[in-house]
Amino acid sequence: MNSIYSYTRDDFINYFLDIGEKKFKADILYDWLYKKRVTDIDSMNNLNKNVISKLKEDMFIDNIKIIKKDVGSDVVKYLFELSDNEKIEAVVMYHDYGTSLCISTEVGCNMSCAFCESGRLKKRRNLLVNEMVLQILEIEKDINKRISHVVLMGIGEPFDNYENVIKFVNIINDSKGIDIGARHITISTCGIVPKIYEFASLKTQVNLAVSLHAPNNELRNKLMPINKVYSLNELMKAIKEYINITNRRVTFEYIMLDGINDTEECAYELSNLLKGMNCYVNLIPYNETNNIGFKRSKSVKIDKFYDILKKNNISVTIRREFGGLVSAACGQLRSHE
Ligand code: SAH
């Protein structure tokens, strides 16, 4: 038995054809689940009795429990408990352009980036498709508002849970369901190169963000162990291929760590690395945590770094800060107490 929230509409079409029903029932079911948000198969009163009993036999409607909420001025952090008692976090952010949700993709994370709190708990398991979909459904119910943007930037490495993540994106993007536009969805990766090629070949309009954080192998090896598996050269090659195939602009995330990757030299090196690419750089002031020694760069350094990139014609922004007071900012989400 599977969760009803783990089916794409195509999956439902195949399901209904398999049980000898018309395929348009998939649309009806999607409407109940994602437009009307009904959580009880028995109330789907335009499906006949046979279909209802078959559905109840073959799948279940589940939920994930909100066990804690930290409310900041324009952000709310949610702690969820999953059916096996594992915990994950998700964060809602209110922007002037809409409401975005940062969701988790795994329980814990194996990428071991030196600066990141989320990775202090090693990966315990992938999130299931329904557990990602339910982060949206439960939060929309709680805030009584529609989420307009989804970023896969919570706990976990999305491309280390590739199949479930792609299925999840397919479900939330479906215009007959939750209907979040592809251009309003962003997947962030630390650089799992084969999956970048795979993702490129899908040719979707979904945004790709890459956590770069260093302009050379020596430094990136120290900060992000994944770089020892897929070096910067391989990573850049894959990203260029992605841009060629999709014609989409890539976002590079670059956290600013005091005295580590925020020197003028790094800024010049980064400019060279990205010259001529269809990309933009998001400079993220590092969020300090109690458990990790890195410090945030001074704001004059961040400004200087920004200026150098600008002068070299690299599009760049400094990320507005969200969630600091409630520990809901990038790299502060956890799967553990
Ligand atoms: N694993 C994916 C998704 C996580 S996204 C990835 O690496 O892209 C979370 C982003 O926050 C990543 O860019 C991560 O490098 C960054 N980050 C981690 N710790 C941070 C911190 N303390 N302050 C600011 N950003 C941080």
Q: Which residues, other chains included, contact 268 with Cβ-Cβ below 8 Å and sequence gap of 6+?
A: 308, 312
Torsion on CA atoms 135, 141, 147, 150, rounded to nearest 10: 0
- Convert the pLDDT of each residue in 79-100 to its tens digit: 999 999 999 999 999 999 999 9
Q: Report the C-alpha gap between 253 and 197 in whole angstroms.
A: 19
pLDDT band, very low/low/confident/very high, at 335 (cuts 50, 70, 90): confident
Q: Are 230 and 193 in contact (CB under 8 A)?
A: yes
- 98-102 and 75-81 as β-strands: parallel, antiparallel, unpaired? unpaired
The CA 190 to ligand 1 mean position distance, Å, reads: 8
Report the predicted TM-score, pTM, of the whole model to 2 decimal places.
0.96
Domain 65-326 CATH (choose: 3.30.160.270, 3.20.20.70, 3.60.15.30, 3.40.190.10): 3.20.20.70
Indicate which atom in ligand 1 lies nearest the CA of residue 116: 19
- Convert the pLDDT of each residue in 38-79 to its tens digit: 999 999 999 999 999 999 999 999 999 999 999 988 999 999
Per-domain boundaries in the chain: 2-60, 65-326
Domain 2-60 CATH (choose: 1.10.10.410, 1.10.3720.10, 1.10.150.530, 1.10.10.10): 1.10.150.530
Which tokens sit at 237?
């090659």
Q: Are 204 and 166 in contact (CB under 8 A)?
A: no
- 65-71 and 2-3 as β-strands: parallel, antiparallel, unpaired? unpaired
pLDDT reading at 267 higher than 80: yes
Q: Can you tell me which residue has the tokens 């309003």?
A: 184
CB 154: neighbour CB atoms within 10 A?
A: 27
Percent of the chain with pLDDT over 90: 90
The CA 198 to ligand 1 mean position distance, Å, reads: 22
Residue type, 69: K
Positions marked catalytic: 89, 330
